[in-house]
Amino acid sequence: MNPGRLQGRVAIITGGARGIGKAIAFKIVQEGALVSLLDILGDLVAQTAEELRAIGGKALGLKADVRQKEKVGQAVQRTLDHFGRMDILVNNAGIVQPALLEDVKEEDWEAVVNTNLKGTLICTRAVLPTMKKNRYGKIINIGSRSSLGKELRTVYSATKAGLIGMTRTWALELAPHNINVNYVGPGPIATELFKASNPEDSPKTRALVNGIPLKRMGEPEDVANLVSFLASDESSFITGQAIFICGGLTVGIAHY
């Protein structure tokens, strides 16, 4: 593997077993990072870590629920014990429970808020002592274009908009410690899961693509490329920013 811009850096990626988190893991491993994947799906996260090792990467797959402080703390400690350092955190684990405003269930509110917001808080607090001690850190919160509004996303959009506030606040609090905090807001991304339930030529998928100014779905690798840049020293003067990666959807909305 060629030395890349993340050579020797250690990254924790939550929700790294599949989808966007997995693509981020592959990208940053190719850039030289060592990764620890945290996911609620124990078997799958072990398999993904194995796939990364098969391409010559150094990877750990750890079962952990981001809502559980103790389990997250143990996973961070295992990462430190295994790799000896910790530099990058990608808060990627997230869930969505689509529902109309009138139909939002209280248990869905709890699950989505606890995963998307509280989980991000728990994971970030777990890595902070190390990042502060080292006076180095890159935190990337994965939000969504839906933070700007989307039908059937009352709770989800609230959490992803909340993450922007957290990102901006943490950027200010952590700047004196040389820790950068940024937010990446993907638009529709064609993960394997999405492709499985939305065939490329279905009328629903075609209508979705047609509404995107760049006329294509995003790929997990599009998001991974941006995260890799924000995790590197090439972006060291960027902090507290929300960057949408959505084929121009946010601009499209501004026209209406």
Q: Hey, which residues are catalytic here?
A: 156
Any idea of the CA torsion for 105, 107, 109, 115, to the nearest 10 degrees?
-150
What lies within 8 Å, CB to CB, of 49 at 6+ separation is 35, 37, 59, 60, 61
The site that binds ligand NAP (CB under 6 A) totals a number of residues, namely 27
Stretch that binds ligand NAP, among 16-24, 102-110, 124-132, 235-243 (CB under 6 A): 16-24
Q: Which is nearer to ligand NAP, 57 or 119 (CB)?
A: 119
Considering only CA atoms, which of 210, 196, 141 is closest in space to residue 169?
Answer: 141
* Residues 73-132 contacting ligand NAP, CB under 6 A: 92-95, 115, 119
Q: Is residue 153 within the footprint of ligand NAP (CB under 6 A)?
A: no
Report in angstroms how near the CB of residue 231 gets to ligand NAP at its nearest: 16
- The bridge status of strand 242-245 relative to strand 59-63 is unpaired
Q: Which is nearer to ligand NAP, 57 or 94 (CB)?
A: 94
Q: Which is nearer to ligand NAP, 128 or 249 (CB)?
A: 249
Stretch that binds ligand NAP, among 100-108, 182-190, 196-204, 228-236 (CB under 6 A): 182-190
Integer CA distances (angstroms), 26 to 11, 103, 203, 217, 256, in order: 12, 38, 32, 20, 38
Contact 28, 7 (CB under 8 A): no
Q: Which is nearer to ligand NAP, 32 or 122 (CB)?
A: 122
Q: Which of 26, 28, 33, 67 binds ligand NAP (CB under 6 A)?
A: 67
Contact 119, 14 (CB under 8 A): yes
Q: Is residue 66 within the footprint of ligand NAP (CB under 6 A)?
A: yes
Token pair recorded at residue 193: 């899961």
Q: Is residue 20 within the footprint of ligand NAP (CB under 6 A)?
A: yes
Stretch that binds ligand NAP, among 13-21, 129-137, 164-172, 173-181 (CB under 6 A): 13-21
Token pair recorded at residue 244: 């949408």
Q: Which of 186, 228, 229, 230 binds ligand NAP (CB under 6 A)?
A: 186
Considering only CA atoms, which of 12, 13, 23, 14 is closest in space to residue 191?
Answer: 23
Encode 9-28: b = buried (16+ Cβ within 10 Å), e = exposed: bbbbbbbbbbbbbbbbbbbb
Q: Is residue 46 within the footprint of ligand NAP (CB under 6 A)?
A: no
Residues within the interface to ligand NAP (CB under 6 A)? 14-15, 17-21, 39-41, 65-67, 92-95, 115, 119, 142, 144, 186, 188-189, 191, 193-194
